[in-house]
Amino acid sequence: MDHAAFRAFYEKTVPKLRAFVIHSCGSVDVADDILQEAFLRFLQSAPLARLDESQMRAYLYRTVESLIVNQWHRRQRDEKIRRDASVVQDKSRPDPIADEMSQAFASLDPKHRTLLWMAYVEGYDHKEIAAASRVGEKSVRVLLFRARQMLMKVIKKP
Amino acid sequence: MKSDQICAMEKTILSALETGRWSEALTNHMNGCAYCRESVEITKWMRQLAAIPEESEPPDLEVIWMMSRISQSSRRLAVPVWDGIAAILFIAFIAVWAWSPVESLVTKMVPSHSMLLVTFLVSCTIAAGMTVAALNIESLHLRRR
């Protein structure tokens, strides 16, 4: 991939991908570190020549999902040592509804978050999600169904 | 509702939501289909979440591009370094393997009371040669970086 192609792809992909990472890990700084690492891995190891744009984007979602999980484990370890919840979150957003939505999304299972985002924000169909997550189409259907149920529970929570 | 009761109309309903073009048939379907109603609710919620504005700028793409170029070139350099190490190990192996013929040749030429000194000198020469080779490879690596 040359510089111009990377620029075009980055500019198109980053807004939604960044929003996904920010709402998943609850910190803009951590999200940007994850994003940078994901794009670096993407440029270094993805077999780019064989992937179309949607597959490249799916590769990035898979990478950020695993980085978010790693980061979550690291944070749990650090918390055990410090027992200081104040370092977990960045400053709260001025909009309390946005804050509440973001927290609700972050409370979901990482796999569920990725599936919901790919299906309802990126607009991927089950086949594309299956190819991206390297699981069967049938499994995607079941997992997405569970993810929807979990999200509805969180949304409807009083 | 079970996971195998997914509505085949979901994609069409979500397209209508995207474009805002609702036919009467689609509206009727929506009113009667709990799965599609839920899909619309989830999609609206998810898109509202995705659209929450973020004041700060994302990571600079030029930095990412540059970092990837640097790491690619250092990976390319790593190959000659490993070649050099393999060459040194090969020379060391040959030196150990050919030690007894060399030793017998030296025995014929050198008086037996000086043998220990000669063995020591030959070992030192081989060790020095390997050190020089290692330093050369390292300096080549630094210069290319």
The tens digit of pLDDT for each residue in B125-144 reads 878 877 777 776 666 655 55
Judged by CB atoms closer than 8 Å, whether chains meet at A19 and B50 is answered as: yes
Judged by CB atoms closer than 8 Å, whether chains meet at A95 and B64 is answered as: no
Please name the member of B4, B46, B65 whose beta carbon is closest to the beta carbon of A120.
B46
End-to-end CA distance of chain A: 48
Candidate from A136-140, B1-5, B89-93 with smallest mean pLDDT = B1-5
Candidate from A88-102, A138-152, B52-66, B90-104 with smallest mean pLDDT = A88-102
Residues of chain B positioned with their CB less than 8 A from the CB of A146: 3
A33-79 pLDDT per residue, tens: 999 999 999 888 756 667 788 888 888 998 998 899 888 887 777 76
Q: How confident is the model at residue B72 (pLDDT cuts 50, 70, 90)?
A: confident
Query: Which residue type does B123 have?
Result: S
Q: What pLDDT is recorded for position A145?
A: 92
Residues of chain B positioned with their CB less than 8 A from the CB of A39: 59, 61, 64, 68
Q: What is the ipTM of this complex?
A: 0.79
Residue B51 has pLDDT above 80, yes or no: yes
Cα-based distances in Å from B93 to A13, A125, B106, B119: 54, 59, 20, 17
Q: Is residue A19 less than 8 Å (CB to CB) from chain B?
A: yes
Residue B104 has pLDDT above 50, yes or no: yes
Residues present in chain B in total:
145
Alpha helices in chain A (DSSP H): 3-25, 28-45, 53-82, 96-106, 110-120, 126-133, 137-156
Place of tokens 């509440």: A100
Q: Among B2-6, B69-73, B77-81, which range has the highest average pLDDT?
A: B69-73
Q: Rg of the Cα trace of chain A?
A: 16
Q: What pLDDT is recorded for position A137?
A: 87
Judged by CB atoms closer than 8 Å, whether chains meet at B49 and A19 is answered as: yes
Tell me the C-alpha distance between B59 and B68, whole Å. Answer: 14
* HSE-CB for A118 with a 13 A CA cutoff: 32
Tell me the C-alpha distance between A80 and A49, whole Å. Answer: 44
B18-35 pLDDT per residue, tens: 898 889 999 999 889 999
Determine if residue B23 is left, alpha or beta; phi over 0 gives left, psi from -120 to 50 gives alpha, anything else beta: beta
Judged by CB atoms closer than 8 Å, whether chains meet at B42 and A16 is answered as: no
Residue A147 has pLDDT above 50, yes or no: yes
pTM of the model: 0.67
Query: Which residue type does A45 have?
Result: S
Query: Which residue type does B9 have?
Result: M
Q: What pLDDT is recorded for position A34?
A: 93
Tell me the C-alpha distance between B81 and B86, whole Å. Answer: 9
Place of tokens 């999600």: A129
How far is B74 from chain A, CA to nearest CA, in Å? 12
Residues of chain B positioned with their CB less than 8 A from the CB of A20: 50
- Mind spelling out the 3-state secondary structure of chain B? CCCCCCCCCHHHHHHHHHHCCCCHHHHHHHHHCHHHHHHHHHHHHHHHHHCCCCCCCCCCHHHHHHHHHHHHHHHHHHHHHHHHHHHHHHHHHHHHHCHHHHHHHHHHHCCHHHHHHHHHHHHHHHHHHHHHHHHHHHHHHHHHC
